[in-house]
Structure 1
């Protein structure tokens, strides 16, 4: 192997390792931001909704940032708690049985003839309206969102880019 080839491989290796480390750092920073506030939201949900156990915590960012906490109360009933990142806003909570399921929310969108391929369904909130955010491909293959009311199952709004 020639001297030039060895230098080229060494320089390429250094650049490659640097790129991998930089990418890992960006990924870790993004994940830390996504999960920051989850522990505090879980504690708030335990206090406000009288949860016995916390299952999952997800971050929803719409007009306002919310933490959606899923857990169980002392009676063993499944609960959802919407904890706003802004402490001035009100924490809201409902028993899962008091609203529609994620499947029912997806079905509501499908019945409107909007959905071609379902991608995800997550809890959301806009103001004091509790919602399901349904992400899907529409008939034209575009990513779209529909917000379905958690309580009555009616479509609140549709967003297609």
Structure 2
């Protein structure tokens, strides 16, 4: 009886280890895809704009795919650069002081009475319109998005998929 239990435990342990390693491999592959293009986007942002130090790169996928590079210029001022994945589209950049902050964008959406629980705020872009994408759980418990104009602070679109 003990021999059967030992064999069962060994087989179960091997299967568990194999599943764990396979899952780790899938996770690593998924994370590599998420960050794919970030180094190229940061280099393009430095080359085509006044950005000198790229501190963070995020991917935004809307109608088109963009990389949003956050960093500083030569004077140490915070700035953002929207780099399109499509090399034919133009790169846009703004000083952080030219628009509203992420906190202000979140407050605008909250003040509109849409938010039950705030999730996150990221920079976004649709064509040449620079945005803050505010994600949240709405009053009905649904995952929702609001797009707030980066410059004016006006809510341009609310989406509940």
Equivalent in the alignment of 1:34: 34
Q: Secondary structure at the match of 1:6?
A: helix
Unaligned 5+ segments in structure 1 are none
Distance 1:46 1:26 in 2: 32
- Partners of 2:117 and 2:64 in 1: how far apart? 27
CA distance in 2 between counterparts of 1:97 and 1:50 reads 15
What's the CA shift for 1:50? Answer: 1.9
Matching residue of 1:152: 152
Post-superposition shift, 1:47?
A: 1.1
User: What's the counterpart of residue 115 of structure 2?
Assistant: 115
In structure 2, distance between residues paired with 1:4 and 1:103:
61
Report the counterpart of residue 62 of structure 2 in structure 1.
62
Query: What SS does structure 2 have at the residue aligned with 1:7?
Result: helix
Aligned length: 161
Give the TM-score normalised by structure 1. Answer: 0.97
- Shift of residue 126 of structure 1? 0.8
Shift of 1:123: 0.2
- Counterparts of 1:1-161 in structure 2, within 5 Å, are 2-161=2-161
Q: Which moved more, 1:17-26 or 1:1-10?
A: 1-10
Q: TM-score, normalised by structure 2?
A: 0.97
Runs of 4+ in structure 1 off by over 6 angstroms are none
- Deviation for aligned residue 1:132: 0.3
Within 2, Cα distance between the matches of 1:65 and 1:52? 23
Q: Secondary structure at the match of 2:80?
A: strand
